[in-house]
Amino acid sequence: MDFTRLSAIEIRQAIVDKKNTAVEIVTAHLDKIEKLNTKVKAFIQINRDSAIKDAQEIDCKIENGESIGLLAGVPIAIKDNLCIKGRETTCASKMLSGFKPPYTAEVVKKIRNEGGIIVGKTNLDEFAMGSSTENSAVETTRNPWDLERIPGGSSGGSAAAVAAGFVPLALGSDTGGSIRQPASLCGCVGMKPTYGMVSRFGLIAFGSSLDQIGPFARTVEDAALLMDVISGFDNKDSTSANISKPEFINTVNKKNDKLKIGIPEEYFGDGLDSEIESCIKGVIAKLEEDGAEIKKISLPLTKYALPVYYIVAPAEASSNLARYDGVHYGHRTNDAGDIISLYSNSREEGFGPEVKRRIMLGTYVLSAGYYDAYYLQALKVRTKITEDFARVFSDCDVIITPTSPSVAFKIGEKTDDPLSMYLSDIYTLSANLAGIPGVSIPCGMVNNLPVGIQLMSPHFKDAEMLSIAAKIENLVAIRNKIALL
C-alpha cells in the first residue's frame, strides 16, 4: 500500500484500527520527501528523527489503550513563518537566518496536542511577500505537476508538499491569497478562515489586519479536520474572535438543499483565461442542475481591491518589519561604523528586492503629507468593499469565482514585471480586505495543469462554506489527486 496516497482521515483510522503503525506511515512519507524534495524543493527543513520519535509515542499510546487525538499519526508540514521553540524559523529570508524562537505558535501546539506529526517546515516567498515562491532567499519551489512552473505563493512550499504526496496536510498563511492561489495552481484544497477564527500567535507578521493561518489538504473533509484542531479563541492573540467554535467535520458532509449561489460579474472579464472560465462555468452549471439557485450579482468595488491592498499591506509590512534592525536578533552586518550604518547595512543585506519594494511603498504611504491621501483613503475604500460583500451575502449563501486568472506560469516568466505578478492574486485579495473566509478547491485541468474554483462566504460561516465545497468536490469528482513526479 502507498501510504502517501491516503487522506489524513484514512491515515488516522488505519492507525486506530491497528492495520498500520504511525511509524510505518510517517516513515513512508519521510522517505518520499527525502527522495523527491531535491526536485520539488518544498521543504526548507526535514525533521526525520523527531517525527519518528513522535510517531513511536502514538504507537505506544495505542498499544497501552490510551486515548489519541484527532490527528494521531498524521504527517503535517508547517510553513516556515510559524514559530517552533528552539527550531530555526527563517521566513525564507537572510534576515532571520539562524533565528530560533523562544516560543511555539498556538496552531502548532494544537496540532501536537492532537497527535499530529510535524515532519518539516516549508518554503515560502520571503516574509510571505509574493505569488510564486520565487522570492525565497533559500530556493525556488517547483510545481509538482510541472517542475518548470511555479507552485504559487507565498505558501508555495506547503501547497507543493501536499500536491506531491509528501504530506496529506499542511499549514500556510494567507494575507492576500497566499493559501488559495497556490492551492489552485497545485491542485489541492486551500482555505483562508475568517479573520480571527484561527490564532495568529507565533505567526511572524506581514500584514496584521490581513494575515490568517489556514490548512492545505487533498480533500475538503481533511481541511475540515485540521480546522477542527486549529480554530478557536486564544487570549494570546488580541485579534482572536471569542465566539462559539464551529464543528467543521460534523458540518462538512451535511446536505445542502436550496442553495443560493452568487456569481459576481466583475470576476469574469478581461484577464481571465477562457479555458479556466469555461471550467468554472461548467461547475456552476452542475450546481444549477443539482438544484442550486444561481444569482448574478455585482461587487462594483472589486476594481479597487488591488490598489487598496497594495497600500494597506505594504503599510503594515513597513511597520511590522521595522523591528529587524540588526540589533536584537536576526542578520547583523559586519560593515558598520556607526548606529545608522548598522541599521541600514543590516537591512540592505538581510532583505530581498520584493521585501524592500514593499517596505519603501509602505513607508511612503504612511509618511507625513501622504497618509491622508493614500493610507486613510484606502482604509475608507476597504470599509466599502466589506459593505459590498455584506450586501450580496444578505441574499446569497456563498459566492463562487475563479481562484486564479491563469494556470501555473513558468519560473522566471513574471519576475521582471511586479504588477503582472501582483495580478495573480486579483481574485483573492478582496476576502482578506473584508475579513471573510475563502476556500479554493480543484475543479478541473487545463493543459494538464490544475484549476481551482474559489468559494467565499459571510463572516464565521466557515464550516458552512466547507460543506458547500464538499458538495462541489463530489459533483466534479476530483479527490485525492497527487502529481506523478
Over range 308-331, report the average pLDDT: 95
* 156 vs 416, higher pLDDT: 156
Over range 149-156, report the average pLDDT: 98
pLDDT per residue as tens digits for the range 169-207: 999 999 999 999 999 999 999 999 999 999 999 999 999
Dihedral sign (CA 393, 399, 404, 406)? negative
| Alpha carbons 240 and 227: distance in angstroms, whole number | 15
| Alpha carbons 183 and 15: distance in angstroms, whole number | 28
User: In whole angstroms, what separates CA 223 from the centre of its chain?
Assistant: 12
Closest CA to 203 of 135, 109, 322, 137: 109
| Alpha carbons 422 and 307: distance in angstroms, whole number | 10
238 catalytic residue (yes or no): no
| Alpha carbons 13 and 82: distance in angstroms, whole number | 28
The dihedral over CA atoms of 327, 328, 330, 336, expressed in degrees to the nearest 10, equals 10
Cβ atoms of residues 185 and 151 within 8 Å: yes
Over range 56-82, report the average pLDDT: 97
| Alpha carbons 333 and 206: distance in angstroms, whole number | 23
- The verdict on pTM exceeding 0.95 is yes
Lowest mean pLDDT among 16-30, 141-155, 216-230, 322-336: 322-336
Pick the CATH number of 3-262+395-476 from 3.30.70.20, 1.20.120.790, 3.90.1300.10, 3.40.50.620: 3.90.1300.10
Q: What is the pLDDT of residue 238?
A: 96
356 catalytic residue (yes or no): no
Q: What is the pLDDT of residue 485?
A: 60
pLDDT level of residue 479 (50, 70, 90 thresholds): low
| Alpha carbons 194 and 104: distance in angstroms, whole number | 22
User: What average pLDDT is seen over the chain?
Assistant: 96
Task: Check pLDDT > 90 for residue 253.
Answer: no
Contacts of 142 (CB under 8 A, 6+ apart): 39, 40, 41, 148, 149, 150, 151, 160, 411
> Coil, helix or strand for 445?
strand
pLDDT per residue as tens digits for the range 395-417: 999 999 999 999 999 999 998 88
| Alpha carbons 455 and 437: distance in angstroms, whole number | 8
pLDDT level of residue 476 (50, 70, 90 thresholds): confident
Sequence spans of domains, the chain:
3-262+395-476
Percent of the chain with pLDDT over 90: 93
Over range 142-154, report the average pLDDT: 98
Contacts of 277 (CB under 8 A, 6+ apart): 268, 402
209 catalytic residue (yes or no): no
| Alpha carbons 453 and 400: distance in angstroms, whole number | 7
Task: Check pLDDT > 90 for residue 460.
Answer: yes
Cell digits of residue 164: 506531491
Tell me which of 7, 32, 41, 79 is the catalytic residue: 79
pLDDT per residue as tens digits for the range 363-390: 999 999 899 999 999 999 999 999 999 9
Q: What is the pLDDT of residue 478?
A: 65
Strand order in the sheet with 117-122: 43-46, 117-122, 75-79, 169-174, 212-217, 189-192, 438-446, 449-456, 398-402, 260-264, 293-297
Dihedral sign (CA 325, 130, 316, 237)? negative
Q: What is the pLDDT of residue 255?
A: 85
Tell me which of 158, 178, 318, 467 is the catalytic residue: 178
- Please give the C-alpha separations between residue 260 and each of 91, 220, 294, 297, 399, in angstroms, as whole numbers: 40, 20, 6, 11, 9
Task: Check pLDDT > 60 for residue 250.
Answer: yes
> Coil, helix or strand for 82?
strand
Cell digits of residue 231: 480554530
Closest CA to 109 of 61, 101, 252: 101
Tell me which of 154, 231, 318, 406 is the catalytic residue: 154
Over range 76-93, report the average pLDDT: 98
pLDDT per residue as tens digits for the range 336-358: 989 999 999 999 999 999 999 99
Contacts of 162 (CB under 8 A, 6+ apart): 77, 168, 169, 170, 186, 188, 216, 217, 218
pLDDT per residue as tens digits for the range 263-318: 999 999 889 999 999 999 999 999 999 999 999 999 999 999 999 999 999 999 99
